[in-house]
Amino acid sequence: MPICHDFHLHSSFSADSDAAPASMIERAVALGLNGMCFTEHLDLDCPPEGPDFALDLDAYFPEIDRLKQRYRGQIRIGTGLEFGMQRPHAAYFQGLVRSHPFDFVIGSVHFIDGKDPYYPSFFEKKSEEEAYADYFREVRALLDLYPDFDTLGHLDYIVRYGPNQNRFYSYARYADVIDPVLRHLISHGKCLEVNSAGLKYGLGETNPARDVLRRYRELGGELLTVGSDAHAPEHLAYDFPVVLNMLLDLDFHYYTVFSERNAEMLRL
């Protein structure tokens, strides 16, 4: 079956997107998707070089509710969140996700020690290899602080921004720091996200890369969510047929969608 739900996308509720929410929905309907979930950014202590990834929750829920009504019968729409896991803010975020009626919650790691790998200065003080390994170690440490989320967003996303991107990156090279992350997700019943934006950025790989997904499967991992991380309508469901073929090749049979934080497995 084609993948017909996109569970990672942004609109103008996120600081780095100008897309009207309705424009994202119109595009999803035109693509024939059955479901989509807005997963707007919320990060605290954003580095001063970049935007402030705040989220106006008081406006967000009513607006997406209104759109859910308007497009009822055409497409299932979710109100989700992509929050940035950081050590000092675990209590805040875990309280937030429990006290708001999100359909779906992505936990992502965007900043390490308050710095964003998106900016080249992040790589000035350490080698690319150290930076990548530190990223995976930090993800693993954060998982202990954040029991409440549905899927781990774009594991290995840091390779989008390294000086050599993924030229010298492989699962095998970082197996000792990636395996603990995968094992934690599996033992805690969390999903691993397959984020197709890596294909859009020319990495030739999803995030995480194919060999990481292969290892997840080998360790017994079955729970996946799939998202494009689109910030504009034209990137919705980006390369989903490529993702589908890869997942079938890797012997995955289902992907997972969420409504009111309840998981539903859909056949690939």
Q: Please give the residue ranges that form the binding site for Zn ion (CB under 5 A).
A: 82, 108, 229
Burial class (CB in 10 A: 0-12, 13-18, 19+), 18: exposed
Q: Which residue is nearest to Zn ion (CB)?
A: 108
Nearer to Zn ion, 9 or 67 (CB): 9
Shortest Å distance, C-beta 208 to Zn ion: 13
Shortest Å distance, C-beta 98 to Zn ion: 21
Q: What are phi and psi of 133, to 5 degrees?
A: -65, -40
Shortest Å distance, C-beta 220 to Zn ion: 26
* Whole-number Cα distances in Å, 119 to 50, 111, 162: 9, 11, 9
Nearer to Zn ion, 195 or 256 (CB): 195
Q: Which helix (H) or strand (E) holds 62?
A: helix 57-70
Nearer to Zn ion, 80 or 221 (CB): 80
Place of tokens 């017994």: 220
Shortest Å distance, C-beta 14 to Zn ion: 8
Shortest Å distance, C-beta 201 to Zn ion: 12
Report which of 51, 148, 137, 45 is spatially closest to residue 89, judged by C-alpha positions: 45
* Whole-number Cα distances in Å, 23 to 10, 14, 20: 11, 14, 5
Nearer to Zn ion, 108 or 225 (CB): 108
| Cβ burial 63-73 (10 Å sphere, 16+ → b, else e) | bbeebbeebee
CA distance 161 to 190: 26
Nearer to Zn ion, 13 or 123 (CB): 13
